[in-house]
Chains A and B, each alone.
Chain A
Amino acid sequence: MSLSKKSIHRINKAVETQDFEKDSSVPLPPPTLSDTEKTPKNPLQKSRMIQNLPDYLL
């Protein structure tokens, strides 16, 4: 099968999987805008993750 045909096959598969997931699972709702407004400026401030980051990323 040619590259273009294989690609079309992959697209069809991806789209059909999306439909399946949409019908059979409960997707996580996107966060509300009010949630965003309530959040601290830097939620990673106290996280262990941040300790491993180089200074220029902080």
Chain B
Amino acid sequence: MASSTHVLCFVNNKGGSGKSTTCANVGYSLSSLGYKVLLIDGDMQLNLSLAYFDEDFVLETAKSDKNLYTAIKSQKDLSDYIFPTRYPGIDMILSSTLMSSIEYDLFTKWQREYILKNGLKNILTENKYDYILIDSPPTLGGWVMNILCASHYMITPVEASPWGLFGLANLFDFLNEIKYVTPDLQMLGVCITKADSRKSYLKQTLSALEELRHTHVFETYIKVDSAIEWSQENGRPVMDYKKSSRSAKEYLCLTKEVVERVTQ
């Protein structure tokens, strides 16, 4: 039976572009819209894990054998690595700081680009989730290839800066080079993050992005908002921490756009 689960990844090789924050908050927003969500923290920085669990639990899990690193290294079914979050309808596979060495572990494995995809096979067959969201590290190596191969759609958060756009161009060059291993992956869109409307450069970014052809840019862009840092400080998605905040509303709008494009 074909799976009805949509697998989305958040990828950008530039660090600090807002991948984990966007993944965490789109995940929460999807749940608030009634969808069942599985989050997968694919980054050794553990930020997505920290958005849903307290630090002690995140670090304890990172050292245990119940994290993504162990599952990938031993090529296990990921069903056995899922933890429920405090929110009904949102589960997570947590990361480990050992993900930093995953490239070495992948090196000797046969068809190493498909290990994550294989690990998700049973979860997809069960159709337990409407969406699986995968956060990725700021690299473009073999592990990110795994994430891209396991995903149906890709969202790229990008910071409104010249170097942000330069990084975006590098990412597209990379995608072009690996297209033969990810023929079914669809770029769902580029999402502008950390937009500061007080800076005149935002206008330049928006103007530059208008010239993109065949690449969708989400209409909603996420503006700088201290509520995001406060939500991180408190280990919660911003929609739960402060529902009335500007960023909470923006993430909900972005999520509605995502759903619309996925179900188109």
Judge: A and B partners, yes or no: yes
Identify the A interface with B (CB < 8 A).
2-8, 10-12, 14-19, 21-22, 27-31, 33, 35-36, 39-40, 42-44, 57-58
CA distance A42 to B143 in the complex (A): 18
B residues less than 8 Å from A40 (CB atoms): 110
Decide: A22 near B179, CB < 8 A? Known: A7-B166, A58-B108: yes
Main secondary structure of the interface of B (DSSP, over half): helix
Known: A27-B183, A58-B108. A10 touches B172 (CB 8 A): yes
Of the candidates B118, B162, B173, B204, the one whose C-beta lies within 8 Å of that of A33 is B118
Once bound together, how far apart are the Cα atoms of A33 and B166, in whole Å? Answer: 36
In this assembly, does B81 line the interface, its C-beta being within 8 Å of a C-beta of chain A?
no
B238 at the interface (CB under 8 A from A): no
- For B181, what are the chain A residues with a Cβ–Cβ distance below 8 Å? 28, 30
Q: Within the complex, which residue of A2, A27, A30 is in contact with B149, where a contact is CB–CB below 8 Å?
A: A30
Q: Name B208's contact: one of A8, A18, A33 (CB within 8 Å).
A: A8
State whether A15 touches B180 (Cβ < 8 A): no
List the B side residues contacting A21 at CB < 8 Å.
176, 179
Contact indicator B214/A2 (Cβ below 8 Å) = no
Write out the residue numbers on chain A whose beta carbons fall within 8 Å of the beta carbon of B110: 36, 39-40, 43
